[in-house]
Amino acid sequence: MKFRLQIVIESATGEHTDLHEVACVEREELRSDTVGLTLEEAKAVLEGIQRRIVEEQTAAYLSAQTSCPHCGKQRHRKGEHAVTIRTLFGKFRLNSPRLYHCPCQPRVTQTFSPLAELLPERSTPELLYLETKWASLMSYGMTTNLLQEVLPIGKQLNAVTVRNHLHAVAERTEAELGDEQVFFIDSCPRDWANLPRPAGPLTVGLDGGYVHSCDKTSRKDGWFEVIAGKSMTAEGAAKCFAFVHRYDTKPKRRVFEVLKSQGMQMNQQVTFLSDGGDTVRQLQLYLNPQAEHLLDWFHVAMRVTVMTQMAKGLEGKDVAIQPAVLKELERSKWYLWHGNVYEACISIDNLELVLDNDDELTAKRRSLLKALRDFRVYITTNARLIPNYGERWRYGEAIATGFVESTVNQVISKRFVKKQQMKWSPRGAHLLLQMRTRVLNDELRQTFQQWYPGMQNDVEEFKAAA
Ligand SMILES: [Zn+2]
């Protein structure tokens, strides 16, 4: 059996039809490997159709350019050069004539290239979109391989091109982000009272991670810090955000826009939860009059759990102090649960006395003692961020964000941290993070559709037309 695939070109009025052969597929017997088109055939067919459509479109456009729209006189041709455009279904070299402007109108330049001016971007938005989307989730090289395998885009696409395209798209979104401000509270308390009743509280979890830097000279130890966070509404709808600390000049604006897109009002409760630390402590200031910043109970409890495990691992002569240590650890946790940092510190001091009362400390006892001292520093440094967790919990208020850990993993680890040999520039990492969070928030396609309304094509409408 033979299948001849043809394309019929109709003019706008329905007459003047043109028929073109695109491909011919032959099939003999039916087997699992001969049913339907193969990937290579499908790619060739798509490329053939695309070539024909692109050529027809550009020919029609250029023929409309040959005469002056004002007086109708023929424009003279100065020559032509080739313009290459990359589409999802092939890379095409198009002839782009250079024409003389008609002397009937005053002009700054003598000549112009209508096609080159019409298509200033040499890659179609949909191709840019797919490159950006996949490269934000996996390596530039893998993205190139994937797209080349499933689309007829040729071998010329390479990892560097994909990276440059992603950077350009990310820079465009960065340019659209408003300016940084110290204060994002733009109204006064009297106005807040008049606002509609806000939705339930927003909970924002913040965490950080370190990324290997390719730029050793300017960064300590060859690492730089990435902050990732997730904001969740009372209904559980979540959005994530991320930025490279010190590289990003608009971190507050970034977080503010995420919260605003989730409907944040100035009379709405916003709770920031983090593991403490200077980097994240400043972020929520002046974003919202109702914003509060708390130490995430998850991190507090985790540290106590680690010390409890260490205490349970004490052996030999240390077994004698084990019950006292476990009891006191439990007590300090109970005080912290109730926001009583003062009593928790007394409890930790007691523990220190119990642990440090021997001339010859065992290695395990020494490491527990060190963990305990670090913990004391941790809670005293963050004392102002420690609320009465028990009370908040009874009132159903947020005290922990177990979800942030997974966000950090999702946003940072897979591409940055796990592949230790991979090194990043702060700019490259920051731009990639912007695209990745946009993809994870399911917003990248929407962004492209705003820039290129043609990408909003309705599939149902397309099917109906056929
Ligand atoms: Zn003219």
pLDDT at 267: 82
Identify the residue whose tokens are 């006064």.
188
Residue 447 corresponds to which amino acid? Answer: T
Distance 114 CA to ligand 1 centre (A): 16
pLDDT at position 373 over 90? yes
pLDDT at 127: 95
**Residue 396 exposure: Cα atoms within 13 Å on the Cβ side:** 3
pLDDT at position 123 over 80? yes
pLDDT at 225: 87
Rounded-to-integer distance, Cα 73 and Cα 81, Å: 23
pLDDT at 322: 92
Distance 84 CA to ligand 1 centre (A): 29
Rounded average pLDDT over 333-357: 94
pLDDT at position 403 over 70? no
Distance 82 CA to ligand 1 centre (A): 26
Distance 72 CA to ligand 1 centre (A): 6
Q: Lowest-pLDDT range, 58-67, 122-131, 430-439, 453-462?
A: 453-462
Between 87 and 154, the higher pLDDT residue = 87
pLDDT at position 87 over 90? yes
pLDDT at position 195 over 60? yes
pLDDT at 185: 75
Name the percent of the chain lying above pLDDT 70.
Answer: 93
Rounded-to-integer distance, Cα 459 and Cα 456, Å: 9
pLDDT at 303: 94
Distance 11 CA to ligand 1 centre (A): 27
Distance 105 CA to ligand 1 centre (A): 6
Biggest CA pair distance of the chain? 104
pLDDT at position 415 over 90? no
Beta bridge partners, 211, equal 224
Contact 223, 412 (CB under 8 A): no
Q: Lowest-pLDDT range, 18-22, 44-48, 303-307?
A: 18-22
Contact 139, 160 (CB under 8 A): no
pLDDT at 120: 86
Tokens linked to 283: 């972020």
Distance 100 CA to ligand 1 centre (A): 11
pLDDT at 420: 56
pLDDT at 282: 74
pLDDT at position 438 over 80? yes
Rounded-to-integer distance, Cα 100 and Cα 79, Å: 10
User: Sorting pLDDT into bands at 50, 70 and 90, what band is 266?
Assistant: confident
Nearest to 100 by CA among 78, 116, 115: 78
Rounded average pLDDT over 85-106: 92
Contact 203, 231 (CB under 8 A): yes
pLDDT at position 418 over 60? no
**Residue 408 exposure: Cα atoms within 13 Å on the Cβ side:** 21
Distance 74 CA to ligand 1 centre (A): 8
Rounded average pLDDT over 133-153: 93
User: Sorting pLDDT into bands at 50, 70 and 90, what band is 462?
Assistant: low
pLDDT at position 244 over 80? yes
Contact 351, 310 (CB under 8 A): no
Rounded-to-integer distance, Cα 376 and Cα 386, Å: 13
**Residue 158 Ramachandran class (φ > 0 left, ψ -120 to 50 alpha, else beta):** beta
pLDDT at 237: 87
Beta bridge partners, 241, equal 229
Tokens linked to 408: 């950090």
pLDDT at 421: 63
pLDDT at 190: 77
Distance 112 CA to ligand 1 centre (A): 14
Residue 339 corresponds to which amino acid? Answer: G
Distance 70 CA to ligand 1 centre (A): 5
Rounded average pLDDT over 224-230: 88
User: Sorting pLDDT into bands at 50, 70 and 90, what band is 216?
Assistant: low
Mean pLDDT value across the chain: 88
User: Who surrounds ion ligand 1 at CB < 5 A?
Assistant: 68, 70-71, 102, 104
Contact 431, 171 (CB under 8 A): yes
Rounded average pLDDT over 372-401: 92
Task: Please tell me what DSSP assigns to residue 245.
Answer: T
Helix (H) or strand (E) holding 22: strand 18-26
Residue 240 corresponds to which amino acid? Answer: C
Identify the residue whose tokens are 């080159």.
116
Contact 270, 290 (CB under 8 A): yes
Distance 120 CA to ligand 1 centre (A): 25
Distance 59 CA to ligand 1 centre (A): 21
